[in-house]
């Protein structure tokens, strides 16, 4: 329940005026906004569960080693080990249950509570009707493909109401122009993997934010050179892992580059 609640808060509240009062141990500098702060608390809780279980297993094992044939002492040690294992299984099971229900909950991303919305109108079916200065999905895809940039998704679809799809309905034309300019400047091969579909806290119709595959330092630097902003104030790195965490210097765990233009 806590995971579900914290996930909802992390996605629904994105006030840039948030002032962090206390650092979360182990996450200093990575919780500058309220959503990041809640994510840090959530991750710290998982750390505490794992560390506590490891400590009690060590205590139980030591107690068993020094029991020296004492049945009562050995029984107490076994009980300690058993309780530690039960606690660890319960903690991991809670995460597994929530992840099975909806993986976005464990990633602090609930599409139905997404606040990303720009100056676009919506029809009764939930699809966006782009306004002046925005592309429909078909128009944006055509413009990108003409420049050698493809659009992909895990669900191989473009339904804006499905977080497994990649939709560019309502994407600003200026953003598409910037992507094409970066392609020409860098000469890098990349795909757009995230657009205006639900499931993002900082994406949406009218917002100049997308996710880009094939993260690399050269590509990241080219985006910076062409005016991209640091994501949520995280200066110097745009590369992120699958959970949205920073990956300095676009290391091996980098899953995508989050790109946001003014």
| pLDDT tens readout for residues 54-108 | 999 999 889 988 888 788 888 898 899 999 899 888 888 877 887 677 665 655 5
Q: How crowded is residue 162: how many other Cβ atoms within 10 Å of its Cβ?
A: 17
Please provide residue 236's backbone torsions phi and psi, each rounded to the nearest 5 degrees. 95, -10
pTM: 0.49
Q: Rounded to whole angstroms, how far apart are CA atoms 93 and 8?
A: 20
Torsion of CA 205, 208, 211, 215, to 10 degrees: 170
Q: Are 184 and 249 within one domain?
A: yes
210 versus 11: the higher-pLDDT residue is 210
Judge whether 67 and 74 are in contact, CB under 8 Å. yes
Q: Which residue in the block uniquely carries the two structure tokens 């991303």?
A: 109
Whether 111 maps to a domain, the answer reads: no
Whether 112 maps to a domain, the answer reads: no
Note the pLDDT of residue 5: 37
C-alpha separations of 148 from 6, 95, 182 in Å: 40, 40, 12
Number of domains present in the structure of the chain: 2
30 Cβ contact partners less than 8 Å away, ≥ 6 residues apart: 36, 40, 245, 246
Whether 15 maps to a domain, the answer reads: yes
Q: Give the structural domain span for 60.
A: 2-106
Note the pLDDT of residue 126: 47
Q: What percent of the chain has pLDDT over 70?
A: 73
In this predicted structure, the answer to whether residue 31 has a pLDDT above a threshold of 70 is no
Model pLDDT for residues 108-145, shown as the tens digit of each residue: 544 433 344 444 444 434 455 567 788 998 998 999 99
Q: Which residue in the block uniquely carries the two structure tokens 């005026």?
A: 17
Reference 176, options 154, 202, 204, 208; nearest CA is 208
Strands of the chain, DSSP E: 121-122, 128-129, 134-135, 150-151, 171-172, 191-194, 209-212, 239-240, 256-260
**Domain C-terminal end among 73, 106, 139:** 106
Q: Are 90 and 185 within one domain?
A: no
Mean pLDDT of 174-185: 87
Mean pLDDT of 47-57: 88
Please provide residue 121's backbone torsions phi and psi, each rounded to the nearest 5 degrees. -100, 155
**Domain C-terminal end among 71, 106, 141:** 106
Over the chain, what is the mean pLDDT?
75
Reference 250, options 203, 225, 218, 211; nearest CA is 218
In this predicted structure, the answer to whether residue 189 has a pLDDT above a threshold of 80 is yes
**Domain C-terminal end among 55, 82, 106:** 106
Q: Pick the range with the lowest mean pLDDT from 10-14, 148-152, 212-216.
A: 10-14
Q: Are 165 and 211 within one domain?
A: yes
Q: Are 55 and 164 within one domain?
A: no
Between strands 150-151 and 191-194, the pairing is parallel
Note the pLDDT of residue 55: 92
Q: Are 192 and 143 within one domain?
A: yes
């Amino acid at each position: 329940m806590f995971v579900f609640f914290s996930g909802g808060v992390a996605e629904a509240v994105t006030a840039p005026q948030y002032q962090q009062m206390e650092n979360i141990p182990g996450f200093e500098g990575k919780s500058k906004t309220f959503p990041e702060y809640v994510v840090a608390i959530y991750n710290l809780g998982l750390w505490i569960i794992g560390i506590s279980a490891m400590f009690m297993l060590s205590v139980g094992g030591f107690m068993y080693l020094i029991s020296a044939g004492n049945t009562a002492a050995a029984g107490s040690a076994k009980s300690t080990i058993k309780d530690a294992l039960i606690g660890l299984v319960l903690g991991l099971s809670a995460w597994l249950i929530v992840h099975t229900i909806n993986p976005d909950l464990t990633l602090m991303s609930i599409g139905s509570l997404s606040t990303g919305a720009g100056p676009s109108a919506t029809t009764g079916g939930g699809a966006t009707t782009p306004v002046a200065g925005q592309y429909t999905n078909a128009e944006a895809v055509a413009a990108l493909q003409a420049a050698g940039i493809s659009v992909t998704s895990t669900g191989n679809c473009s339904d804006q109401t499905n977080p497994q799809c990649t939709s560019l309905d309502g994407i600003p034309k200026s953003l598409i122009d910037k992507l094409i300019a970066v392609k020409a400047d860098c000469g890098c091969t990349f795909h757009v993997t995230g657009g205006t579909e639900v499931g993002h806290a900082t994406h949406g119709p009218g917002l100049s934010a997308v996710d880009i595959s094939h993260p690399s330092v050269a590509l990241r630097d080219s985006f910076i050179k062409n005016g991209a902003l640091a994501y949520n104030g995280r200066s110097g790195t745009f590369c992120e892992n699958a959970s949205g965490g920073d990956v300095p210097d676009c290391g091996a765990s980098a899953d995508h580059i989050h790109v946001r233009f003014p």
